[in-house]
């Protein structure tokens, strides 16, 4: 049973051989929005992200650049940290798989599997993709003999490896998925995994010989082999939780209480679903540890009609967009445009359309309401029944809460924007400029402007998970010390606010090439 007072949320750890791109940003924005939402609700949150720093790709990229692998990893981890700072990501822990603590946990975990009889040594021959750092079957490769994920070439490799008896846990995993229909979201990804599990599950090669790959964590029972990078990477979620204590007598495997484990939600792209929904849970079963409570596999960003790919040269850099529009506009587009779990397309036209929605609806509302309060009431409205927008506010609150809990972040943002539209409609219907000219219109003007201020206070809280910078600016214009929680927003009286005219939240900007 999930504890409502805590949330442990994770992104994948991003591979340290390439620059941050819009796909990384989207997953991280999703996690950040959920983390901010749960913090607003009073939960203790551990939001984890980081970099995956071992494996053949790192070794080869470092060699190509003429640097040591650790030097490359240090530089790339720095790039991700810088990017997340520029994009205002509120992570609590940035993990690196080259950390001493993580290496110790990996070795303890693998030894645990060995001690429980789940690891054996055997010779293996198969088709290997350096890009994906995994073996593929003939069926998965198809007639063109390229890996099915990135379409990259594969090579035939024969070598001795250590194997995890993953096949032992196939029935247990199927039973878990069937008994917990919400464990994998969305439903089509759950069905995809169940379809994969209709065929016999192979055992998992968990090592690579050091004669071929030096850059990895050595196995505790055979220093001539390093841990398979995907096993190493998946264990990061456990390392950050604090559940495993390699120096303790029992190491924590038999009692994870008091730690953050199990994770409440793993946020991943659909291309790494199998590793998270098959490899990871069976490894945890083998170690005798609880499974994560939920997985959300989101879709891919495409550019026009083409999947975003570094090799095609169509990867969108979120930092370039941020320089032009600010991080909140980028966050808004990515979170609002992609239906959670589905694919979405980036085009300059779609980006501008979403930006104009912000400017014309929310930005316009903030500007006109704060301007009228400053002009007609010197920044402070008198006491009145501020209930003119109670219906739209209540609907927005219900819809946002329901959508966020169901991980439909795009729908939550749409519901918040509907409140802003309703408030703009209220301005037109009430005509506060006309009330200001009436000798007996003061009470009606206070009620109108106060109702609009009440809506704006709620909107700062509703939009905070997606746009923390701009909502902080709006809260300041409303005379608030900071963006309130939704509970606090309900108790703020508009007549207690000292309002000043808000500068444009989303000024007009032209999208450059």
Structural domains in the chain, CATH included, are: 6-298 (3.40.50.620), 324-496 (1.10.730.10)
Tell me if the bond preceding 186 is cis, omega within 30° of 0: yes
- The owner of tokens 């999208």 is 511
Q: How far is the CA of 379 from the CAs of 478, 491, 495, in angstroms?
A: 9, 19, 10
Q: Which DSSP symbol is given to 204? A: E
- The b-or-e profile of 133-163 (16+ CB within 10 A means b, else e) is bbbbeeeebeeeebbbeeeeebeeeebebbb
**Closest of 14, 22, 15, 17 to residue 302, by C-alpha:** 22
Instruction: Specify the 3-state DSSP secondary structure of 237.
Output: helix
**Above 90 in pLDDT, residue 13?**
yes
The CA R_g of the chain, rounded to the nearest whole Å, is 26
As a whole number of angstroms, the distance between CA 37 and CA 43 comes to 9
Instruction: Specify the 3-state DSSP secondary structure of 405.
Output: helix
Q: How far is the CA of 67 from the CAs of 60, 92, 97, in angstroms?
A: 10, 30, 19
Q: Which has more confidence, 318 or 260?
A: 260
Q: Which DSSP symbol is given to 153? A: B
Q: What pLDDT band is residue 499 in, cutting at 50, 70 and 90?
A: very high
Q: Is the dihedral of CA 379, 380, 385, 387 positive or negative?
A: positive
Q: Which residues lie below 8 Å from residue 190, measured CB to CB, with a gap of 6+?
A: 177, 181, 183, 184
As a whole number of angstroms, the distance between CA 155 and CA 129 comes to 7
Say if CB 207 and CB 219 are below 8 A apart: yes
Phi-psi bin for 431: left (phi > 0), alpha (psi -120 to 50), beta?
left
Q: How far is the CA of 500 from the CAs of 82, 95, 250, 476, in angstroms?
A: 34, 42, 60, 9
Least confident of 118-132, 259-273, 299-313, 461-475: 299-313
Residues 236-251: pLDDT tens digits?
999 999 999 998 888 9
Q: What average pLDDT does the structure give for the chain? A: 92
**Above 70 in pLDDT, residue 303?**
yes
Least confident of 59-73, 105-119, 314-328, 360-374: 314-328
Q: Percent of the chain at pLDDT above 70? A: 95
Instruction: Specify the 3-state DSSP secondary structure of 374.
Output: helix
Q: How far is the CA of 314 from the CAs of 151, 299, 354, in angstroms?
A: 16, 17, 21
Apex 27 CA angle, 203 and 302, nearest 5: 95
Q: How far is the CA of 125 from the CAs of 135, 151, 155, 276, 503, in angstroms?
A: 9, 21, 10, 24, 65
**Closest of 212, 19, 15 to residue 124, by C-alpha:** 212
Q: What pLDDT band is residue 304 in, cutting at 50, 70 and 90?
A: low
> Which string of DSSP letters, residue by residue, matches 154-181?
-EEEEEEEEEE-GGGGHHHHHHHHHH-T
Residues 199-245: pLDDT tens digits?
999 999 999 999 889 999 999 999 999 999 999 999 999 999 999 99
pLDDT given for residue 47 in this prediction: 98
pTM of the model: 0.91
């Amino acid at each position: 049973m999930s504890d409502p007072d805590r949330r442990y949320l994770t992104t994948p750890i991003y591979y340290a051989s390439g620059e941050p791109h819009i796909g990384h940003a989207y997953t991280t924005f999703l996690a950040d929005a959920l983390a901010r939402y749960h913090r607003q609700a009073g939960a203790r949150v551990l939001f984890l992200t980081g970099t995956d720093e071992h494996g053949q790709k790192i070794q080869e990229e470092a060699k190509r650049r003429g640097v040591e692998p650790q030097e490359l990893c240090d530089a790339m981890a720095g790039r991700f940290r810088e990017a997340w700072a520029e994009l205002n990501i509120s992570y609590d822990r940035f993990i690196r798989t080259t950390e001493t603590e993580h290496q110790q946990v990996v070795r303890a975990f693998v030894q645990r599997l060995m001690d429980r009889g789940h690891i054996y040594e055997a010779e293996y021959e198969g088709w290997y993709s350096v890009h994906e750092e995994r073996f593929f079957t003939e069926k998965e490769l198809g007639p063109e003999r390229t890996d099915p994920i990135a379409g990259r070439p594969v090579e035939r490799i024969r070598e001795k490896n250590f194997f995890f008896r993953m096949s032992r846990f196939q029935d247990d995993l199927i039973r878990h998925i069937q008994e917990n229909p919400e464990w994998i979201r969305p439903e089509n990804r759950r069905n995809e995994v169940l379809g994969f599990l209709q065929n016999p599950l192979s055992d998992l090669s968990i090592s690579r010989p050091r004669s071929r790959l030096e850059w990895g964590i050595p196995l505790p029972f055979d220093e001539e082999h390093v841990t398979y990078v995907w096993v190493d990477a998946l264990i990061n979620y456990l390392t950050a939780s604090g559940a495993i204590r390699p120096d303790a007598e029992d190491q924590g495997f038999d009692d994870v209480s008091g730690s953050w484990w199990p994770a409440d939600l793993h946020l991943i792209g659909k291309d790494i679903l199998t590793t998270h929904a098959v490899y990871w849970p069976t490894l945890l079963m083998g170690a005798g540890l609880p499974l994560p409570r939920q997985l959300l596999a989101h879709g891919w960003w495409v550019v026009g009609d083409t999947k975003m790919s570094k090799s095609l040269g169509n990867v969108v850099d979120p930092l370039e967009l941020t320089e032009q529009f600010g991080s909140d506009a980028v966050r808004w587009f990515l979170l609002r445009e992609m239906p959670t779990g589905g694919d979405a397309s980036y085009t300059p036209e779609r980006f501008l359309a979403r930006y104009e929605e912000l400017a014309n609806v929310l930005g316009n509302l903030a500007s006109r309401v704060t301007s009228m309060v400053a002009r007609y009431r010197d920044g402070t409205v008198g006491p009145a029944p501020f209930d003119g927008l109670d219906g739209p506010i209540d609907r927005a609150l219900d819809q946002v809460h329901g959508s966020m809990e169901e991980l439909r972040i795009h729908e939550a943002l749409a519901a918040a924007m509907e409140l802003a539209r309703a408030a703009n409609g209220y301005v037109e219907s009430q005509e506060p400029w006309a009330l200001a000219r009436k000798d007996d219109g003061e009470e009606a003007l206070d009620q109108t402007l106060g109702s609009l201020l009440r809506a704006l206070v709620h909107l700062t809280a509703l939009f905070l998970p997606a746009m923390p910078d701009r909502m902080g600016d709006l809260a300041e214009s409303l005379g608030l010390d900071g963006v309130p929680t939704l509970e606090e927003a309900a108790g703020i009286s508009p007549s207690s606010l000292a309002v000043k005219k808000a500068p444009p939240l989303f000024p007009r900007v032209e999208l450059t090439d």
